[in-house]
Amino acid sequence: MFGSPTETRKITLDLLRHGEPEGGVRYRGSIDDPLSATGWQQMRHATAQAMAPKTSGSGTTWHAIISSPMRRCQEYARELADTCNLPISIEPDLKELCFGDLEGLTPKQAWEQHPQLLQALWQDPEQTTPPGAEPYSEFMQRVTARLEHIIHAQPAEQESIHLLLVVHGGVIRASLSHFLNIAPADSFRIEVPYAGITRLKLYLEADGSYNAALSFINRFTGDS
C-alpha cells in the first residue's frame, strides 16, 4: 500500500510539457525554437491553475524547478522561478529525443516522405532509429539516469519534496515508462499535450528503493 508506515519519504514530480513553440507542430527534438505567444500563455495558464487554491485546500507549492536546457522549456522555467522565488537547475540530460532526418518536418510531411520509417518507429521505437537520430535506448538511458540522480540527490531529512520538471513530451513518456513499467512502444501511444502537467508520486523506503504512483496525467493543459 502506498504511503505505508515503513515508507519514510515522499517525492512528488510534476512533469510540465512546454507550450507551443514558434513554428507549430513538427518533429522538434534538437531544434531550439522559443515559445510562441500562445505557448507562453499556455504555460502561464497551466501553472496558475496548479497553484490556485482549491476547494479541498491550498494550491500546489513547489520546492524547486528543474528544466531542460531547450528554450521552449528553460525560458518559462526561469520566469516562473523568479516569480515564485524558487531555486532552478538546468539539466542537459532532460533534452528531447533528437529525431535526425525527421527534424523540422510536420507530421504530414514526415508521413509523406518517410511512411515506412514512421510506421516502424511507432511500432518499435527501441529497434528503429531514423538516420542521424539518437537511438531510443540511449535517450531512455540518459533520461532515466538523470531522473534517478534527481530523486536520490534530494535531502534525506526532508520528508516530503515537491518538484516541478519543465520538459518535453518524449521525456514525460520516458518517465512514465520508467516509473510505471510501461513498454516504450506503448508509451508512444500516450498523448502529451502542450502545457499538460503529469504528476508522479514516489514513496521512498529507508534503503532508497521506492514505489511509484500516477496521480494524474495531462491536467491543467493550455487547451482547457
Enclosing H/E stretch for 123: helix 115-123
CA within 13 Å, CB half, 59: 9
Enclosing H/E stretch for 178: helix 169-180
User: Can 168 be counted among the known catalytic residues?
Assistant: no
CA within 13 Å, CB half, 50: 28
Q: Which amino acid is at 82?
A: D
Q: Which amino acid is at 203?
A: Y
Enclosing H/E stretch for 147: helix 136-152
Of 18, 20, 91, 168, catalytic: 18
User: Can 22 be counted among the known catalytic residues?
Assistant: no
Of 20, 91, 96, 134, catalytic: 96
Q: Which residues participate in catalysis according to the annotation?
A: 18, 96
